[in-house]
Every structure is written in C-alpha cells, then in structure tokens.
Chain A
C-alpha cells in the first residue's frame, strides 16, 4: 500500500515574511517614517515638542521659585513658576478660615471620609452594614469639625477648603442616593398621588440649573422662614445639592429598574413576595448593579458641583483658594495656585473615573446572563 502522491509531496518550504523586518525598530519606522513627507513631519513636530517640553521644564522646574520667603523673587526677570504661592497659601487653600491650630481635626475628618468612600467602593463590602460605617464616619467627622465633648467648639461658618468640599460631597451622596431610590420607586408606583409627587420633584429639580437651586435655598428659603429663624448656611446648601443630585440619580436608578427583564418581577411575585421584600431582595440589588457606572459618573459630577457653593458665600476648596489669592503680595501668581488645585481635583476625579471603568468590567462578568 503506497501513499497517494499528494500525501508524500515535499513539504512546502518556509517563505520569508512579507517584507520589512519585524521588531520594535521596524514598527517605529512603519509608524513614524512610512513616507519621506511623513518622516519630515515627524522630525519637525518632534523637534517642536522637544523645544516646548524643554521650555515647560524650564518654567515649571528649573527656574521655579519654591521658597515663600520673598514674594518679590517670583516677579524677578526670568523667574519661572512661582510654586512659592502654594507653599505659602496651602493651609488656607486646604482649610479656608478653619482655626490654624485645629487643622489636624479637619485633615482627620477628610481622611475618614475618603476612607469611607474607598470601603464603600469595594464590591466585597457591599452590604446593608455600610449604613453603619457611614453613620459612624459622618458622626465622627461632624464631631471633629464642630467640636464639643473635649474639642474646642466651632461653627459651620469656620468650615472651608477641602473638608467642606468633601463633607458636601459625602452629604450629597449619602443623603441623595436614598432620596433617589425613593423617587425612582415612586415614579414607577401605581399610586397616582405618589407618582405625581415624585415626577413633579424630579422634573422640577432637573429643570432648574444648580445655581438657581442654590440661590433659592440661600435667598428665598430664609425669607419664607421669617425673621429670627435661620437655617445654617451649610445645611441650606446641602439641601439644595441633595435635591439636585437626587433628581438626577433617580432617573439613573429608574433606568436600572426598567433594564431588568420583566421575568424578574414576575418570578418574585409568583413566590408571593409583597412589594417591599420584592424590591429589596430581588429587584434593587440587580437594578443597582447595572447602574453603578452611571451613578459613579453622577457622583463625580456632584463632587465637582460643590464648587458652585462659592456663589452663596461658602469657602469650598476652589473658593478658599480664590480667597487666599486676594493677598496683594501673591495676587499676581494665581496661575500656579490654580494649577495646583487642578491637580488635586484631577486626582480625585481621575481615581473615581478609573474606579467606574474597573467596576464596569467587574460587574459585566457576573451579570445574571453570564452565569452558568
């Protein structure tokens, strides 16, 4: 028995790869110097980039003034970035008019809130027990910020800078999310009165700019309350921000509720679950999972929106920075201070948006439809 010819035919000799050599050098050439014209462009733009980077480094590092001892050094000829303004004013930027000796309290409150955010961000910690964590964190942070029980007493008008920004964000999110849940469920309710109230609230606050809401909370509300009755300015701003955040987040949650297959509702009802147990044990856990990325997006926005409170006279992080730059000795060097707080804001927002990406991928893998 002999093999058919086509089986014994000689093996086809290996051929050279199409052309060009493989490897990083070749890839580089293909990307940046495919034709003479493009090669020329690469050289020109590359040279430009080198020049610009060199000048940037010269401004930001080499010629920069770091010591705040002499403000005039920043205005000298050939002086680069005036980081001295940050060195001189960083305490005011971060803490506003908070009493200098008590800054440690504000810093500790900031760390506590950040830690609580980090813990609540981890999926393995997602449970109703988080509520206790937040109660404890906020109570502790408020004690640190307000004093009493052994600490010097302070008022909210002393608050400023980053602690104010973080407390406003934390308050907005921790009060706004429950409000959003209630509004979203109410909007889907079969009871007409509840549905109308919820739709009205959502549409009213979504239809108003945040600035208008804040002005309303700080100007109109006190006039309604009458003479002699005042609500703390921080609380007024917080209420405005919570309502605004709640209205937007409610629509996100509603999206999650509607994205769930109808079968989930029917299955829960067929088990004989009444409304609240059905919502709490079956529907909301799934619906919220779907909308976590969108909610994180909204939380980032709420964080950035805190800078609006400057218009009603609260020193948030940005407002405190602006106020600190009124110092006639440093007023010329606002750019460097703004660059610095930009970096801080960016660090916060970037961390949150990276988290949103990560959580999106992670949730995607344990979606019900992917489960075996």
Chain B
C-alpha cells in the first residue's frame, strides 16, 4: 500500500522527463522553456554553488548565455550535476541538452563517443608546482621525486609520459580528494604537485599557508582545450551553442559590455547595431533565434572577458591571469569567427 504514491510519481516523473527521440534540440528547448546543462558542481570558478545555493562559474555562465540566446532569458536554465563517469551518458541519452563541464576536447572523445565539441571556452594545460625552497626550475631536475597527483586524471597520464620520455623515475602519491591532495603537498608529503595550471594557481591562492613559498614551473605539458559538448546528431543545436560562445568573444573584441550594450545598440557603429538586433536587423533568422539574441547574451550574462573576470579572474578569489585565455589581439588564444 505504501508503495503506491511514490511508484506512481516515479512513473509520472519518468514520462515527464522523456523528450521525444531525436527531436530538434533547439525546438525542444523552446517548447520546454529551459535549457538543461550538465555541470561539474564542485569546481570553483567553473561551476559551483554559492552560499545562497545559486550556480556560479564560467561553465554556468556559458549555459546561461545559451539560454539567453535560445529563450531570451539567462535564468531559464536547469543544472544537472554530472560526474566524470556519468557526463557523456547523460548527454547521449538526452538527460541534458549540453554538457558544460570543463570537458577537454580530444580526438578520441569527439570521434568515438557520439558527441561534438561546439566551442572552446577555456584553454588549460598541465603544470608542476614545487616548493621554492627545492630550488628546482625544470622538470629534468625532478628525478626520483615524489609527485602528488589525482588518480584517473589527465595529470596522471601526463606525469607518466613526461618522466618516462626523459628516463626519470618518480613516486606517485595519490589521493582521491582534491583538498586532501593539496593538504598532502603543502604538508610536505611530496616534492611536486601536478595539476592543470588553472587548478595549480587556485590551489596555491587558496590553500597554501604562504603562496610565495611555491613556484609553478614554466613549462606547460599537454593541451586541455575545454568547452561545451553537444550530441552529434543535431547540427542546428551545435551551431546555436558554437555561436553563443562566439557572440560572447566577439562582444569582448568589439568592446561591448553588459554596461554599455544598451548604448551601443542605440548609437554604436552600424555593424554593431545590426549585431545587437537594432532596427531591421535579421541576425537571428538563419538559426531561428530572435534578432536580439546577441543583445540578450551580453546584457544578461556579459561578454567573455566579464565572465572570465568574475568567475576566475581578478574579480574572483581565484585571481587567475588571462594567460592563454586572453583575446587573440592580446597574444592569447581566444578567437571567434566573425559574426556576420
């Protein structure tokens, strides 16, 4: 008897969340009224929840930008937390519309998992951090070192490759938990710590007893371009995600910010007015979006630079430098195809 309500609700939930198979994702979203994004949920700067339970971070803002483009409302989002094991299954089965979960684009994933990488929102790489007192400046001096590394990550493969290529030996010190691993390193359990450079910078800024006592070695190993991932069978939806990211980058390039976007639409250059959907602009038409979709992204979420600064940069506790993620005009890698 007790089982009836839950079972009935379970069945109802199952039916309610079953989208029509292989339907056009963009149409499905416009019908449903929300974009469902798969996020990490526990990675500061990319996706995490603040003290009031709100989602924040670069990946979260990518999702919000997509919602602003498709639905005109950056808050029409639903975040599903995924783990590194469940993320691709969730995408393949249609549980989420787009995976915005600091996922590295690789040939293997792109070619064999039935997914497409729609854009790159963050360029990362693997680096080593050592105590300054060790006096080490290159990896070649780390022969025989004990290395703190998270198991099952790119970092683990990188450290193996780097050391075996150079014919050096090392002892891996493995902890499952990021915070414990950092505590082990700062407690002197290992000589070096390998992680993504963004992770190293934030670990050093937040967990080191004295950040000045630790140096990040200059050489960066492996390329980790990360960005939103979509299902392979939906070209229109991929285009929407790609151009939502491109719009944020283009806005930064053109100096359009959430502050001045109104003004720019009213009195900017003609090309900018068209981009922002002023007058008889039909910029949304090719993708079946509203003509003010770029305006919605910039006014509700901001341009790429604004998002970076508040999530990862100087405006956040992580204090990451732009580095590789600077605009191409500033020597970085962030570059968008022209929006015209």
Whether chain B is bound by chain A comes out as yes
Q: Which of A65-84 contact B (CB under 8 A)?
A: none
B146 within 8 A of partner (CB): no
By a CB distance below 8 angstroms, the chain A residues around B7 are 175
Assess the B14–A100 pair: CB atoms within 8 A: no
Nearest B-chain residue to A103, judged by Cβ: B53
A-B interface contact total, Cβ < 8 Å? 169
A100's contact among B43, B54, B80, by CB below 8 Å, is which? Answer: B54
Assess the A155–B78 pair: CB atoms within 8 A: yes
By a CB distance below 8 angstroms, the chain B residues around A175 are 2-3, 6-7
Rounded to whole Å, the gap between the CB of A77 and the closest CB of chain B is: 11
Assess the B42–A323 pair: CB atoms within 8 A: yes
Q: Which of B1-31 contact A (CB under 8 A)?
A: 1-7, 9-10, 13-14, 16-23
A219's contact among B19, B43, B89, B205, by CB below 8 Å, is which? Answer: B89
Nearest B-chain residue to A176, judged by Cβ: B3
A89 to B316, CA, bound (A): 18
B55 within 8 A of partner (CB): yes
Assess the B85–A219 pair: CB atoms within 8 A: yes
Assess the A315–B2 pair: CB atoms within 8 A: no
A95's contact among B4, B6, B53, B81, by CB below 8 Å, is which? Answer: B53
By a CB distance below 8 angstroms, the chain B residues around A95 are 53
Beyond A135-B5, A177-B2, A228-B20, is A223–B93 a contact (Cβ under 8 Å)? yes
Nearest A-chain residue to B39, judged by Cβ: A313
Assess the A232–B83 pair: CB atoms within 8 A: no
A157's contact among B3, B9, B78, by CB below 8 Å, is which? Answer: B78
Rounded to whole Å, the gap between the CB of B180 and the closest CB of chain A is: 9
A238 to B11, CA, bound (A): 12
Assess the A328–B86 pair: CB atoms within 8 A: no
Nearest A-chain residue to B92, judged by Cβ: A227
B82 within 8 A of partner (CB): yes
Assess the B53–A97 pair: CB atoms within 8 A: yes
A322 to B42, CA, bound (A): 8
A93 to B10, CA, bound (A): 26
A44 to B48, CA, bound (A): 49
Tell me how many residues of A have a C-beta within 8 Å of chain B.
Answer: 64
> Which of B3, B94, B95 has the most A CB atoms < 10 Å from its CB?
B3
Which of A188-196, A329-337, A356-364 forms part of the interface with chain B? Answer: A329-337
A315's contact among B16, B17, B41, B202, by CB below 8 Å, is which? Answer: B41
Assess the A142–B5 pair: CB atoms within 8 A: yes
Rounded to whole Å, the gap between the CB of A182 and the closest CB of chain B is: 10
By a CB distance below 8 angstroms, the chain A residues around B161 are none
B52 within 8 A of partner (CB): yes
Assess the A323–B52 pair: CB atoms within 8 A: no
A215 to B85, CA, bound (A): 9
Assess the B49–A324 pair: CB atoms within 8 A: yes
Beyond A138-B6, A227-B22, A328-B317, is A313–B81 a contact (Cβ under 8 Å)? yes
Assess the B55–A131 pair: CB atoms within 8 A: no
Nearest B-chain residue to A310, judged by Cβ: B83
> Which of B19, B95, B316 has the most A CB atoms < 10 Å from its CB?
B95
By a CB distance below 8 angstroms, the chain B residues around A331 are 44, 179, 206-207
A228 to B7, CA, bound (A): 22
Q: Mark A189-213, 1 if CB is under 8 A from B, else 0.
A: 0000000000000000000000000
A326 within 8 A of partner (CB): yes
B51 within 8 A of partner (CB): yes
Rounded to whole Å, the gap between the CB of B210 and the closest CB of chain A is: 11
Assess the B49–A135 pair: CB atoms within 8 A: no
Rounded to whole Å, the gap between the CB of B56 and the closest CB of chain A is: 10
Assess the A100–B3 pair: CB atoms within 8 A: no
B318 within 8 A of partner (CB): yes
A14 within 8 A of partner (CB): no
Nearest B-chain residue to A133, judged by Cβ: B2
Nearest A-chain residue to B10, judged by Cβ: A235
Assess the B81–A326 pair: CB atoms within 8 A: no
Q: Mark B90-121, 1 if CB is under 8 A from A, else 0.
A: 10111100000000000000000000000000
Rounded to whole Å, the gap between the CB of B161 and the closest CB of chain A is: 28
B335 within 8 A of partner (CB): no
Assess the B79–A157 pair: CB atoms within 8 A: yes
B50 within 8 A of partner (CB): yes
A226 within 8 A of partner (CB): yes
Nearest B-chain residue to A100, judged by Cβ: B52
A215 to B22, CA, bound (A): 25
Assess the B53–A174 pair: CB atoms within 8 A: no
Beyond A222-B89, A322-B42, is A327–B17 a contact (Cβ under 8 Å)? no
Assess the B41–A91 pair: CB atoms within 8 A: no
A66 to B55, CA, bound (A): 26
By a CB distance below 8 angstroms, the chain B residues around A156 are 13
Assess the A97–B95 pair: CB atoms within 8 A: no
Q: Which of A39-97 contact B (CB under 8 A)?
A: 88-89, 91-92, 95-97
A322 to B176, CA, bound (A): 14
Q: Mark A155-180, 1 if CB is under 8 A from B, else 0.
A: 11110100000000001001101110
A229 within 8 A of partner (CB): yes
A314 within 8 A of partner (CB): yes
By a CB distance below 8 angstroms, the chain B residues around A324 are 49, 51
Q: 13 new A-B pairs (CB below 8 Å) besides A157-B81, A226-B21?
A: A97-B41, A100-B53, A100-B54, A134-B5, A135-B1, A135-B2, A174-B2, A175-B2, A223-B92, A227-B22, A312-B83, A329-B206, A331-B206
- Give me 13 A-to-B residue pairs in the complex whose CB atoms sit less than 8 angstroms apart, sorted by A's number: A92-B50, A135-B2, A138-B5, A138-B6, A158-B78, A174-B6, A175-B6, A178-B2, A219-B85, A219-B89, A227-B22, A233-B80, A328-B206
